[in-house]
Each structure stands twice: as structure tokens, then as C-alpha cells.
Amino acid sequence: MIRLVWSAHIPPQAKIDGTVHFGHNGLGVIIHPLCEIGPRCMVGPHVVLGGRAPVVGAPILDDDVIVHAGSKLIGKIRIGTGSVIGANAVVTFDVPPKSLVVGVPAKIVRSNIDIDSYR
């Protein structure tokens, strides 16, 4: 039903905390079955949290992470607590806590951010 109505793929094997918010009802969101999303995260529409073959694994989002629309997080990576991923960013590396990441390819442009100012 989710696939047909919202063009999304959110498999039951993914570990998604009950407090996670999917913007626009998860429209176009694609999540790898091995993905983990921690408490109070926000995931925008058309976000991909995918694998990177041949490496087994998928993105792990720690607590309070914001992933803006159109972002692609690829591979076995960890996004640290309180980090923000900008719209349409392509992230293929671990992101330290409280970081702002933007661009294609993604770059850390700010550290020690206050997550509340991005909500």
C-alpha cells in the first residue's frame, strides 16, 4: 500500500524508532532493509538511505538527525547525533555529531551546530 500511494519503499526489516517523522508522509522515500533510524529523526521526501554493493550494510542515523528532501545517504555509514544533511546532498562517509553537511559530493560545512535552530 505504501509503495502504491506514496511511491515509497520502507521495509519492515529496517529499524526505525517510533518517534521518527517522515515529511509529506514519506513521499518517495527509499530505505534499505539494514538501515537504522534513531529517535527524533526527521526524514524529508525523496530521500534514499541505501546500500553500496559489494559492501554489506546501510546508513545508521543516530538521535536527532535531520535529512532534508532529495538527499542520498549511500553505504555503511553513520550520521552522528544532532547532524543535519542539506537538501539533495550525496553522503558516502561517516558524519560526526552536530555537523551540517551539504553538496554533491557532500562536505561538512559547519561543526558544533545547535540542532534546534534547524528544526
* Per-domain boundaries in the chain: 2-113
What's CA 72's distance to the chain center, in Å?
Answer: 8
* Residue 81: pLDDT over 60: yes
Architecture of the domain made up of 2-113: 3 Solenoid (2.160)
* Whether the model pTM is above 0.85: yes
pLDDT in tens, 17-72: 999 999 988 889 999 999 999 999 999 999 999 999 999 999 999 999 999 999 99
Question: What one-character DSSP code corresponds to residue 73?
Answer: E
DSSP H helical segments within the chain, as ranges? 2-6
Quick one: pLDDT at residue 71? 98
Strand partners, 4: none
